[in-house]
Amino acid sequence: MVYAPHYYDGITLMTKKWNRLWNVDVFGVLRGRYLTPASAIKLGETAIRNCLRDQLSAIRKEGEDYMGNHPCVLTEFGIPFDMDDKHAYKTGDYSSQSSAMDANHFAVEGSLMGGYTLWQYMCQNKHQLGDQWNGEDLSIFSLDDLPLPLSPTAASRSNESTISFLQHTGLNTRESLDKSTVNPGNLKAKLRTPSITSRMMDVPELTNNPGFRAAEAYVRPSPVAIAGTILSYGFDLRNCTFTLKLLVHKTGSDAQTTDISLPGFHFPKDKCEVTVTSGKWTITTDDSDNSSIQRLRWWHLDGEQTIKVTGVPLPHHGPSSGPIVLPPLPHALGIVPSFCVNGQKTLVMKEKVWALAQGNFQIRDESNVELLQCKAKLFSLHHQKFFYDMQGNELWSLKHKLLSIPRQYYGEGPDGREVFHVQGHWHLGGARVTVSFVNTAGNSEPIELALSGNWIDRYGTITRNDRPVAQITRDYFNTRQILGDADTYYVTIAPGMDIALIVSLCVMYDEEMRKQRCNQGRLLKVGVLDPRAA
């Protein structure tokens, strides 16, 4: 007999948002553990993750109290993928879904459930119709989604790989659907364990191979066969570490054996670091039955034993976010040709703490190489911020026009010419503005950028013709912000996009949000549009 409960994070499921600010211990409220429901509110992402874990632990304990010592298997849990008004379907940014999925798995692992089944896999899911049942969209698979990269490192145009259960390339949507459908003729083959495969592919948006969304959060290592009792285990997605602690009872043999499923997505065989308290280990790959399963086998002694496996961490684009791969632009877009990168680039923008003039940023890549400088001019009438390359050459200064309603910003070159212009409507919740400039980095045509922002969201996206060209993330409630009112931004930029221009827009938003917010979180959603697409 098995205790088989279901559990969903109701706040996320009903609002269709991953709320990092607050959540509620619903199970505790239902069981009367709080004097008032307000006492059950949990603040901050760490507290929310711990709250989900504690609720599942209480559910498991309740089963033991009423049913005795029987396994507890969580037979249904999942997240809605159509979060944020289907924002991910327009931009390819599944960071919210990845964070929510990771939090749920953190809860399952921390509660020591005997197992789980994820809701759900729907082979005919599409963005418009979802799971085609009850208005739900919880499937980890969709015909309209692109495969995710196999490597945790963002791939270049000439060498990209994917997570895909499809074994062949060049399948159109109809063929993919046929191969996804289960019928009596292919039932045996469909029951085989699928593998994560790597293959060469074209630019992601030009392929028709359906993919698995937020897979980095649910493709996780897990214990398979344990010689003893599990004391704790868990997978840290951000740092890509798996830790297992167990208590092994004496059996008289020299060594006990424990098996762990170790997916190659996070743990490439030749890039794993394993530390154990005793014994030896080996990593093998089982390629039988048309599948590829990587396992770690550990021979250890009796007593309390621990193993820690470190894989390849995902590129850091903010808390709990997954890898971001952006397709290259057909031609350079921007003002300064030398800042239109050939490959994808991730920038870390750190505002200097307690600077005399707010808005001084350090702009570095993930290798800690400084690429740009942003310096605010103290006591400036126009609140100027100057942008320089690393040779000290001024690119332009960011200013706002005095007495303009609504407020207008513009970039002024060293020769006094206006290089870009920003105007629109700013309000407490966000903004809708446009940016105009001549594409001197590319085809010299006039370009208009449409920007919209939301101060509360931490994640932003920049798109061109509905194709993402940049992703922006802001650390929330970090020490730098709390103590020094200084923010840290992570900006991932597609090949061909002007780094300096994107950085300037981020700095402009940072300045405007200081004027608009009332102790609210702040970040932007940016849409970059070509006027010819209208």
pLDDT tens for each residue of 345-394: 889 888 865 544 456 888 998 788 999 999 887 655 456 899 999 999 99
Specify the amino acid at residue 146: L
- Cα–Cα distance for residue pair 391/412, rounded to 1 Å: 19
Contact assessment for residue 365 and residue 348, using Cβ atoms and an 8 Å cutoff: yes
- Tokens at residue 403, please? 């007495």
How would DSSP label each residue in 364-391?
A: EETT--EEEEEEEPTT-TT--EEEE-TT
pLDDT value, residue 527 = 44
- Residue 274: how many other CB atoms lie within 10 Å: 17
Any idea what the Cα angle at residue 59 is, between residues 55 and 62, rounded to 5°? 135
Contact assessment for residue 249 and residue 286, using Cβ atoms and an 8 Å cutoff: no
Phi, psi of 479 (to 5 degrees): -60, -40
| Statement: residue 451 has pLDDT above 80 | no
Give the mean model confidence (pLDDT) for residues 107-135.
94
pLDDT bracket for residue 289 (50, 70, 90): low
DSSP state of 193: P
Instruction: Establish whether the linkage from the previous residue to 37 is cis, with ω within 30° of 0.
Output: no
- Residue 1: how many other CB atoms lie within 10 Å: 7
Phi, psi of 375 (to 5 degrees): -125, 130
Owner of token pair 């390849």 = 312
Contact assessment for residue 451 and residue 437, using Cβ atoms and an 8 Å cutoff: no
Please, where are the H alpha helices in 80-126?
83-91, 95-110
Looking at the structure, give the CATH architecture of the domain made up of residues 337-533.
Beta Barrel (2.40)
Instruction: Establish whether the linkage from the previous residue to 120 is cis, with ω within 30° of 0.
Output: yes
The domain ranges of the chain are 10-214, 218-310, 337-533
- Cα–Cα distance for residue pair 493/333, rounded to 1 Å: 12
pLDDT value, residue 63 = 96
Q: Indicate the SS3 state at residue 48.
A: helix
| Statement: residue 427 has pLDDT above 80 | no
Specify the amino acid at residue 152: P
pLDDT value, residue 250 = 83
pLDDT value, residue 473 = 75
pLDDT tens, residue by residue, 28-76: 999 999 999 999 999 999 999 999 999 999 999 999 999 999 999 999 9
Q: Which residues are catalytic?
A: 76
Contact assessment for residue 526 and residue 481, using Cβ atoms and an 8 Å cutoff: no
Any idea what the Cα angle at residue 492 is, between residues 490 and 495, rounded to 5°? 155
Contact assessment for residue 407 and residue 426, using Cβ atoms and an 8 Å cutoff: yes
- Could you give the C-alpha distances from 199 to 63, 170, 209, 431, in angstroms and in order? 45, 12, 12, 42
- Cα–Cα distance for residue pair 218/108, rounded to 1 Å: 11
Distance of CA 184 to the CA centre of its chain: 38
- Cα–Cα distance for residue pair 38/32, rounded to 1 Å: 12
Contact assessment for residue 448 and residue 528, using Cβ atoms and an 8 Å cutoff: no
- Cα–Cα distance for residue pair 255/352, rounded to 1 Å: 54
- Cα–Cα distance for residue pair 161/264, rounded to 1 Å: 13
pLDDT value, residue 13 = 96
pLDDT tens, residue by residue, 167-207: 333 334 444 445 545 555 554 454 443 333 333 333 333 33
- Cα–Cα distance for residue pair 232/247, rounded to 1 Å: 10
| Statement: residue 517 has pLDDT above 80 | no
In 237-344, DSSP assigns E strands to 241-248, 256-261, 273-276, 280-286, 293-300, 303-310
Give the mean model confidence (pLDDT) for residues 114-125.
94
| Statement: residue 510 has pLDDT above 50 | yes
Helix 95-110 to helix 45-67 angle (10° resolution) is: 40
- Cα–Cα distance for residue pair 249/230, rounded to 1 Å: 12
